């Protein structure tokens, strides 16, 4: 039962254009969402987060949008740069008994073409 | 240390052997997590430690898997009688609080190959 889904395994975007990575979830109780970026042979690194009380969070070139009714979040990267080429994971969690235990999607491999 | 350190970075083992994977979290981080990523899969939660509380072992796939965290710092994930389906990248992460809004800091992982 995949509670967090990233239906696009890969995405190619031209440098300077917008990259949009999508993520869907099934559990309406999730209240915190994260995006991670992963380069080969490295651990995932935290990128941006959003709580369920917001519908948008922005950090430089990265913006995360949350649509709770659709159980959908997306990560926008504008403008895309070749260094953004990596695998992006979304993760969702529900605060429970003093812990956030994140469930991750399968990832989307982004390739930014120079 | 400056980051989460995992060792070994790569491990090849024969089916049926036991393996130990080590994680050295960021100093002062009270929460420690183990995840694994099998080929083509997302990050699968295995186990979570928070301070002196009993660990959350709900993600361990079988009783061949166990983990401990000594002195609230270093953690060891042990897989007994390894099987080929155990082949994956095992990732350790730590955080200052219980997940919080800036997520975890991950190590580079241990790539386990069972032959």
Check the CA dihedral A40-A46-A47-A48 and report its sign: positive
Distance from CA of A113 to the nearest CA of B (A): 23
Which two three-digit tokens encode residue B110? 């241990």
Strands A62-67 and A72-77: antiparallel
Q: State yes or no: pLDDT of B97 exceeds 80.
A: no
Span B40-59, mean pLDDT?
87
Please give the DSSP secondary-structure letter assigned to residue A103: E
Q: State yes or no: pLDDT of B98 exceeds 60.
A: no
- Percentage above 90 pLDDT, chain B: 63
Nearest beta carbon to residue A44 from set B101, B102, B106: B106
Strand arrangement of the beta sheet that strand A62-67 belongs to: A4-5, A19-25, A72-77, A62-67, A56-59
Span A92-96, mean pLDDT?
81
Q: Convert the pLDDT of each residue in A2-25 to its tens digit.
A: 799 999 999 999 999 999 999 999
Q: Convert the pLDDT of each residue in A51-84 to its tens digit.
A: 999 999 999 999 999 999 999 999 999 999 999 9
Check the CA dihedral B50-A92-B67-B89 and report its sign: negative
Question: Which residues of chain B does A6 touch, with a Cβ-Cβ cutoff of 8 Å?
Answer: 42
Cβ distance A100 to B98 less than 8 Å, yes or no, reads yes
pLDDT for A39: 92
pLDDT for B102: 63
- pLDDT band at A1; cut points 50, 70, 90: low
Residues of B with CB under 8 A from a CB of A: 4, 31, 33, 35, 40-45, 48, 50, 56, 91, 93, 98-109
């Amino acid at each position: 039962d995949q509670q967090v889904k990233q239906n696009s395994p890969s995405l190619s975007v031209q440098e300077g254009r917008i990259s949009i990575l999508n993520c869907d979830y099934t559990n309406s109780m999730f209240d915190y969402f994260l995006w991670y970026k992963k380069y080969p042979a490295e651990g995932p690194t935290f990128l941006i987060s959003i709580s369920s009380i917001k519908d948008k969070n922005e950090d430089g070139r990265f913006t995360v949008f949350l649509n709770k009714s659709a159980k959908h979040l997306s990560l926008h990267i504008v403008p895309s740069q070749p260094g953004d080429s990596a695998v992006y994971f979304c993760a969702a969690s529900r605060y429970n008994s003093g812990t956030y235990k994140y469930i991750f999607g399968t990832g989307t491999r982004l390739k930014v073409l120079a | 240390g400056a980051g989460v350190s995992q060792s070994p970075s790569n491990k090849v083992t024969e089916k049926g052997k036991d393996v130990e994977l080590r994680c050295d979290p960021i100093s002062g981080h009270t929460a420690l997590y183990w995840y694994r990523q099998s080929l083509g899969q997302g990050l699968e939660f295995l186990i979570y430690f928070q301070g002196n509380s009993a660990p959350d072992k709900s993600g361990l796939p079988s009783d061949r898997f166990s983990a401990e965290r000594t002195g609230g710092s270093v953690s060891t994930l042990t897989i007994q009688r390894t099987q080929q389906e155990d082949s994956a990248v095992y990732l350790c992460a730590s955080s200052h609080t219980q997940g919080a809004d800036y997520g975890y800091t991950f190590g580079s992982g241990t790539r386990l190959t069972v032959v």
